[in-house]
Amino acid sequence: MYALLVCSLLVLFVTIERLLFWITIDLRRNRPLMDEVLELCRQGDWEMVRDKVQNSQDFVIRILVTGIVHREFSLSRAMEAAATDQLKRMSRFMGVLDTMITVAPLLGILGTVIGIISSFEILGAAGIDDPRAVTGGIAQALITTAGGLSIAIVSVFPFNYFQSRVNNAAHTIEQYATSLEIVYEKLLSGQNGEERPQ
């Protein structure tokens, strides 16, 4: 039960930490600014983009800005590297929840097996004169299985929620990064078209 208590505390800590993280992410989002940045990129006004996003904490804008800063080298690779870092931050501690979902029931079953072994040792020593001691021990041993299953079941909900948030964030990043790549390619092709007649 002490091991299960540690598992439950870990689940509680991770859930609270991830909730606060995603609340902060939501508060920093600025969708109108993202659309404005894409429009400025379409016009090729890089200086205005820099001024607009100077104090932004939006993770998508940060990724776009990384691509814009490195546009002369490799816009897509720069955004890909920045996106990987952001998604890694978003997936932090997800392994802990995933592990608890698997380990907690196993710890519960282990506790139950140890309890049943103790009960049968009592049965072997005392005989069948006091069956209540044996059945009481087995009932007590089953508490660990119930505890382990409860922790696993409770852990599934935040794990799935946070995983869906990571997947949605990855989709949003891909959507805006693709839009920026298309805008930049059109801008380059337009500049090349203007240079050819000269």
Give the tens place of pLDDT for each residue, 67-114: 888 888 888 899 999 999 999 999 999 999 999 999 999 998 988 888
Per-residue pLDDT, 196: 43
pLDDT at 148 over 80: yes
Task: State the number of CA atoms in the 13 A half-sphere of 43 facing the CB.
Answer: 10
**Stretch 139-168: mean pLDDT, rounded?**
91
- Distance, in Å, from the CA atom of 107 to the CA atom of 143, rounded to the nearest integer, reads 11
Per-residue pLDDT, 95: 93
Per-residue pLDDT, 198: 40
Per-residue pLDDT, 142: 84
Mean pLDDT, the chain, rounded, equals 85
Q: In terms of Cα–Cα distance, which of 96, 137, 141 is closest to 6?
A: 96
Please, which pLDDT band fits residue 36 given cuts at 50, 70 and 90? confident
Please, which pLDDT band fits residue 131 given cuts at 50, 70 and 90? low
Angle, CA of 6, 12 and 13, to the nearest 5°: 90
Per-residue pLDDT, 167: 96
**Which ranges of the chain would DSSP assign to H, the alpha helix?**
2-28, 31-43, 46-52, 59-69, 71-90, 94-126, 131-195
Stated pTM of the model: 0.82
pLDDT at 134 over 70: no
pLDDT at 27 over 70: yes
pLDDT at 197 over 50: no
Q: Give the rounded percent of residues in the chain with a pLDDT score beyond 70.
A: 87
